[in-house]
Amino acid sequence: MASVKALQENIVNSQIWKSVFRVGIPNTNRKRVLAVLGSLILHLHPVKVRRSGVRMSYTWCMGGTTFFFFLIETVTGLLLMFYYRPTIEYAFTDIMDLREQAPFGIMREMHRWGAHAMVIAVWLHMFRVFMTGSYKPPREFNWNVGVILLVLTLLLSFTGYLLPWDQLAIWAITVGSSMARATPGAGNEGPMSGLIKLGDIRLIHAGDDARFGLIGGRSIGAATLLRFYVLHCVAIPLVAGFLMAIHFWRVRKDGGISGPL
Amino acid sequence: MTFLKDYINVLSAASISFLLLSSTFGCIVYFNLLEGRLRSKGGSIFIGLGVAYVIAGLFIRPLLYLAVAYFLVMFGLAHLGGRLWDKKVGKWLLFVGIVGFFVSFLDPNFYLIAAKPDNVPIGAMIFLLGIFTWIALRKAYLNDKQIQAGGIPWEKTETNEKLFVWPDLVYTEMLCMILLTVVMSVWSVALRAPLEEAANPTSSPNPAKAPWYFLGLQEMLVYFDPRLAGVVLPGLIIVGLMAIPYIDTNPKGNGYYSFRERKWEIGIFLYGFLVLWSFLIITGTFLRGPNWNFFGPYEYWDPNKLVPLVNVDLSELVWVNWLGMPLPKLWPIREMFGILLVIGYLSLPPLLAARPFRRFYLKMGPARYYVGSFLFLVMMALPIKMVLRWLFNLKYIVHIGELFFNV
């Protein structure tokens, strides 16, 4: 044991280690405070938290779990992007290649199951926050940010659903997007859309309504695939990341992990 | 065994399982959270409901099945009372649930649907929802008891006790991450992500289903016009969720689990989240087969199953069946009854504000009261229409084809 301890001391006191971790082993309260304050990632946290905020039985760890799934999705998604081309010629065959050729390839599996798990984790997080009344003042705004993040999570999963370009994908998106046709005022089958006219010409029709805008065509096709790919890989993650930063920031500013006042 | 399977098949018919779930929800709130007794005014309402199911069952056969299941559940829950939240009872319920689920896997029809790779997480979700609901309500129940005895909720005893993030929180997070990584790795190795044939826009599968988290919305399409089910209602769900903190002005129950202090909020939210949203997703995933027909969990998904289309609109029901007259030509006259009904439904809040709900009206103020009650009525329109559809084959209450407007 003594030699292990000596080795540890040696490593921690080396110039390399000290250049990265300023504090050393956080074995005193002062060092524990400094460890959290001095680290970009750890300083998402306050230095001290309420005891109930640490308990798994109180928080269920679901917010953190959701964020962790987001990170899993980012990493596995990035790896998948190396193999995948969002065109109708290649999309399906690229996924096939990934499935058949990549040795030990579980990145697609992890990405898909992670996506499902993330949706469930978000719901459970919302459930917990509701049951502990943590949306009440001063946290009203953060609850709203959370609701938007929930919707974005669903949209992320929805846009990703199309990318394998198999039967499951296009028909799920066909069914899922067909409702946009009925948007009041903006879908060609929606109420009031018939009233938007220029003389006798209807301005809202299948070639320019809300569904057309969503999928980039009259039916699911090459344009939809590219559109959903860009939304899935760039646009929505950026917005979600931005809102997550706000979400976490506000948790801190509104008094940390909720607890009785 | 076959009898049990047939019984469950009938019970899970959307109408029955929904009524059973709603009644069970009511029972849990009354008997297990509020400690109501069977021999009381409230308890007799629940017995009366069971009797109503029996009487209805004389006319609509499957409702007899419902009545039997309902009495079992009601007496069981009333008997358990607060003991439902004992850890021992909870473990037993979970054990029975898991064993029942896996024994069901022996049935080939059940296996076919429940073991589909994309459905596995939803099966897990059923259990997760059950477990977490139980945990939350157990904590609420225990805190309620403390508060009633003049004490403080358990979380409050720890308010002033603060821990260092390093090591307490950081280690918990670290363990969570490791555990999740292990779970995800095992899951990914054990179960391959589904991949069907290459996309073919000319051959649509039957049933064509949206991604699973939208199946609740797809199921809503059965009961509502696409304009409502596909656009307006999902929008209102989001608006309603966002409005919660502004409508709910009850300062109690902030930062700890409780039920008695927030009966209405928690009751409405749990009903919407568990009995409507989650139930519809589970129904849409496991029980809706070809042509979006309904199939019990142990039934074969027969693409040729014939379901008689006997749904009628309210206007037809009133004019043709009851009054024995042809449908009037002008839609305002034809749809008169439906329109009156809808107006009556939506004018409930101002009417109720005058007398029975005066308390709420004064406490919340007009803006909160009207927005809140409107959102609540819209939410409750879904179960109302579901029951009307199943039991009376009612299609639309207002059906104005001329204006593309249906309710």
The pLDDT tens digits of the residues spanning A201-259 come to 888 888 888 889 888 888 899 999 999 999 999 999 999 999 999 999 999 998 888 88
Q: Is A179 within 8 Å of B217 when comparing Cβ atoms?
A: yes
Q: Where are the beta strands (DSSP E) in chain A?
A: 48-50, 197-198, 201-202
Confidence of residue B406 (pLDDT cuts 50, 70, 90): confident
Q: What is the pLDDT of residues B212-262, one digit of tens each?
A: 999 999 999 889 888 888 888 999 999 999 999 999 989 999 989 999 999
Residues of B in Cβ contact (< 8 Å) with A182: 225-227, 230-231
Task: State whether residue B50 is helix, strand or coil.
Answer: helix
Contact A229/A91 with Cβ under 8 angstroms?
Answer: no
Residue A258 within any structural domain of the chain = no
- Would you state the structure tokens that stand for residue A5, as one six-digit string? 């301890």
In the numeric block, which tokens belong to residue B144? 């309620």
Q: What is the mean pLDDT of residues B191-210?
A: 90
Residue A207 lies in a domain: yes
What's chain A's length in residues?
261
Please spell the DSSP secondary structure of A208-233, one letter per residue.
TSHHHHHHTSSSSSHHHHHHHHHIII
Which residues 6+ apart lie within 8 Å of B193 measured at CB? A108, A109, A111, A112, A113, B117
Q: Do residue A34 and residue A65 come from a single domain? A: no
**How far is A91 from chain B, CA to nearest CA, in Å?**
9
Q: Quick one: pLDDT at residue B14?
A: 66
CA gyration radius for chain A? 24
Q: Residue A261: inside a domain, yes or no?
A: no
Asked if the structure places residue A155 within a domain, the reply is yes
Q: CA–CA separation, A201 vs A146, rounded Å?
A: 43
Residue A260 lies in a domain: no
Q: Smallest Cβ distance to A92: which of B199, B211, B212?
A: B199
pLDDT of residue A236: 97
Residue B5 reports pLDDT greater than 80: no
Tokens of A224: 């939809």
Closest CA to B341 of B361, B360, B325, B318: B318
Q: Are residues A166 and A243 in the same domain?
A: yes
Q: What is the pLDDT of residue A243?
A: 97
What pLDDT, on a 0 to 100 scale, did the predictor assign at position B8?
76
Which B residues in the span 241-270 are in contact with A, Cβ-Cβ below 8 Å? 241-242, 244-246, 248, 250-258, 262, 266, 269
> In chain B, what are the domain boundaries?
1-34+36-80, 311-406
Region for residue B365 given its phi and psi (left: phi exceeds 0; alpha: psi -120 to 50; beta: otherwise): left
Query: Domain count of chain A?
Result: 2
pLDDT in the model for residue B12: 67
| Domain hosting residue A37, numbered range | 1-47
Q: Which of A123-127, A166-170, B42-46, B117-121 has the highest mean pLDDT?
A: A123-127
Residue B60: exposure state from Cβ atoms within 10 A (0-12, 13-18, ≥19): middle
| Percentage of the residues of chain B whose pLDDT score is greater than 70 | 99
Q: Which residue ranges of chain A lie beneath pLDDT 70?
A: 1, 261
- Candidate from B128, B187, B257 with C-beta closest to A113: B187
Residue A52 lies in a domain: no
pLDDT of residue B206: 87
- A192 and A147 co-located in one domain: yes
Residues A112 and A6 in one domain: no
Residues of B numbered 186-215 whose beta carbons fall under 8 angstroms of chain A's beta carbons: which are they? 187-189, 191-201, 203-205, 208-214
- A259 domain-assigned: no
To the nearest 10°, report the CA torsion of A159, A161, A166, A171: -80
Q: Could you tell me if A246 and A125 lie in one domain?
A: yes
Judge whether A53 lies within some domain. Answer: no
Task: Answer whether B386's CB lies under 8 Å from B221's CB.
Answer: no
Q: A88 and A120: one domain?
A: yes
Beta-bridge partner residues of B288 = B294
B279-316 pLDDT per residue, tens:
999 999 998 999 888 888 888 888 888 777 778 888 88
Identify whether residues A19 and A107 lie together within a single domain. no
Q: Do B118 and A168 touch (CB under 8 A)?
A: yes
Residues A141, A23 share a domain: no
pTM for the model stands at 0.93
